[in-house]
């Protein structure tokens, strides 16, 4: 069956109007907060699911209510609000971007793809999505979710040439595709029976259905973590001086890629930790000591005002058994 794009846009939009979720960043097109809410949510949603983002977004806008306030906030505060959401480079880039937007663009998101892509943390996808959602530009943001929907609808693995925009509601259409992929045309079990567009879906109507490419398997890697601890104080020595790319500049104990057993350290436990797009297999070692190398500082494992990544907090939880 030949797919009529106009018909498709109309049907997806009508499904969206009746089924879209109420999300805190979906606010009126006329709202002054629109630019801030959209850029903040798009940064948070990179690599992270909607349901995880919602409480973080709500808390963030409560503490930092607009772009200007973000641009004048301390990085420490921004990271603290991001704590637990992971991929902390996003928080740092958003913070840098907010300063540029206030200084050079009067607090507005630029309307040009090229200018947007010049901002820290904004790639093709985020630039497209912001232009569609904020300025109603005819752009589709092709993340894995939307690609999958289009692959299926057209029963093809090439979607670049598909022209989908024969509508005045370009922003809504971009969002409708994302929502449709998240709620109906799901990765493993698409809900074809209740799908409102199944009659015009080539995947549904074809006998020879395309196979979607499988995600590449994430490799797991082994690390040894060595913790200096104070005997009676629930304190741990941390350093920002580590060469682990994915946790650079954060407070961590000493970490090495799997090394030979070192008898000076006591083995505590082995556990798994997923971080960013890595699976880590961790062996945790410790030693009680009052002396630590220069680049380390003592931190309390009870409560910390400073930002501590969840990777390090997980280490705290394992160590807390030693103090019980």
Which of 13, 195, 244, 322 forms a contact with ligand SF4 (CB under 6 A)? 195
Identify the active-site residue in 42, 83, 166, 257.
Answer: 42
Whether 42 sits among the annotated catalytic residues: the reply is: yes
* Piece in contact with ligand SF4 (CB under 6 A), picked from 56-64, 183-191, 249-257, 260-268: 183-191
Residue 6 binds ligand SF4, judged by CB under 6 A: no
CB of 203 to ligand SF4, least distance (A): 4
Which of 197, 229, 284, 319 forms a contact with ligand SF4 (CB under 6 A)? 197
What are the structure tokens assigned to 246, written together? 């994915």
Residue 209 binds ligand SF4, judged by CB under 6 A: no
Q: How many residues bind ligand SF4 (CB under 6 A)?
A: 13
- The 3-state secondary structure of the chain reads CCCCHHHHHHHHHHHHHHHCCCCCCCCCCCCCCHHHHHHHHHHHHCCCCHHHHHHHHHHHHHHCCCHHHHHHCCHHHHHHHHCCCCCCHHHHHHHHHHHHHHHHHCCCCCCCHHHHHCCCCCCHHHHHHHHHHHHCCCCCCCCHHHHHHHHHHHCCCCCCCCCCCCCCCHHHHHHHHHHHHHHCCCCCCCCHHHCCCHHHCHHHHCCCCCCCCCCCCCCEEEEEEEEEECCCCCEEEEECCCCCHHHCCCCECEEEECCCCCCCCEEEEEEEEEECCEEEEEEEEEEECCCCCCCCEEEECCCCCCCCCHHHHHHHHHHHHHHC
> Given the complex with ligand SF4, which of 116 and 197 has the nearer CB atom?
197
* Piece in contact with ligand SF4 (CB under 6 A), picked from 21-29, 88-96, 123-131, 190-198: 190-198
Residue 198 binds ligand SF4, judged by CB under 6 A: yes
Is residue 53 a contact partner of residue 44, using CB atoms and an 8 Å limit? yes
* Piece in contact with ligand SF4 (CB under 6 A), picked from 163-171, 182-190, 213-221, 293-301: 182-190
Residues in 282-311 at the binding interface with ligand SF4, rule: CB under 6 A: none
CB of 300 to ligand SF4, least distance (A): 51
CB of 208 to ligand SF4, least distance (A): 14
Residues in 112-151 at the binding interface with ligand SF4, rule: CB under 6 A: none
Residues in 146-175 at the binding interface with ligand SF4, rule: CB under 6 A: 152-153
> What distance in Å separates the CA atoms of residue 7 and residue 199, rounded to the nearest whole number?
11
Q: How many CB atoms lie within 10 A of CB 282?
A: 20
Which of 70, 122, 201, 247 forms a contact with ligand SF4 (CB under 6 A)? 201
> Given the complex with ligand SF4, which of 35 and 152 has the nearer CB atom?
152
* Piece in contact with ligand SF4 (CB under 6 A), picked from 22-30, 44-52, 86-94, 186-194: 186-194
Residue 185 binds ligand SF4, judged by CB under 6 A: yes
Which of 56, 203, 250, 307 forms a contact with ligand SF4 (CB under 6 A)? 203
Rg (CA), the chain: 24
The tally of CA atoms less than 13 A away on the side-chain side of residue 158 is: 1
Which of 54, 192, 210, 292 forms a contact with ligand SF4 (CB under 6 A)? 192
Active site residues per annotation: 42
**Interface with ligand SF4 (CB under 6 A):** 152-153, 184-185, 190-192, 195, 197-198, 201, 203-204
């Amino acid at each position: 069956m030949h797919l009529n794009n106009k018909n498709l846009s109309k049907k997806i939009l009508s499904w969206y109007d009746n089924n879209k979720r109420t999300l805190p960043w979906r606010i009126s097109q006329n709202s002054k907060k629109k630019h801030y809410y959209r850029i903040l949510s798009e940064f948070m949603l990179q690599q992270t699911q909607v349901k995880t983002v919602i409480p973080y977004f709500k808390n963030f806008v409560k503490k930092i209510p607009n772009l200007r306030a973000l641009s004048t906030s301390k990085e420490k505060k921004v990271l603290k609000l991001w704590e637990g959401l992971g991929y902390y480079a996003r928080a740092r880039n958003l913070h840098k971007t907010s300063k540029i937007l206030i200084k050079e663009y009067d607090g507005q998101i630029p309307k040009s793809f090229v200018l947007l892509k010049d901002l820290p943390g904004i790639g093709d996808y985020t630039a497209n999505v912001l232009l569609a959602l904020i300025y109603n530009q005819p752009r589709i943001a092709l993340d894995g979710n939307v690609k999958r929907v289009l692959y299926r609808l057209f029963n093809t693995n090439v979607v670049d040439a598909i022209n989908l925009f024969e509508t005045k509601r370009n922003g809504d259409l971009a969002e409708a595709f994302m929502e449709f992929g998240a709620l109906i045309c799901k990765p493993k079990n698409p809900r074809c029976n209740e799908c409102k567009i199944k009659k015009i879906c080539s995947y549904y109507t074809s006998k020879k259905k395309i196979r979607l490419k499988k995600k590449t398997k994430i490799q797991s890697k082994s690390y040894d973590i060595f913790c200096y601890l104070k005997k009676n104080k629930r304190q741990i020595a941390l350093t920002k001086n580590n060469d682990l790319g994915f946790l650079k500049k954060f407070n961590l104990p000493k970490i090495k890629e799997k090394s030979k057993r070192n008898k000076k350290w006591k083995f505590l436990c082995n556990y798994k930790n997923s971080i960013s797009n890595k699976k880590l297999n961790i062996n945790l070692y410790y030693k009680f000591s009052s002396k630590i190398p220069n680049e380390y500082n003592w931190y309390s494992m009870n409560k910390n005002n400073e930002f501590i990544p969840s990777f390090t907090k997980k280490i705290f939880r394992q160590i807390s058994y030693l103090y019980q």
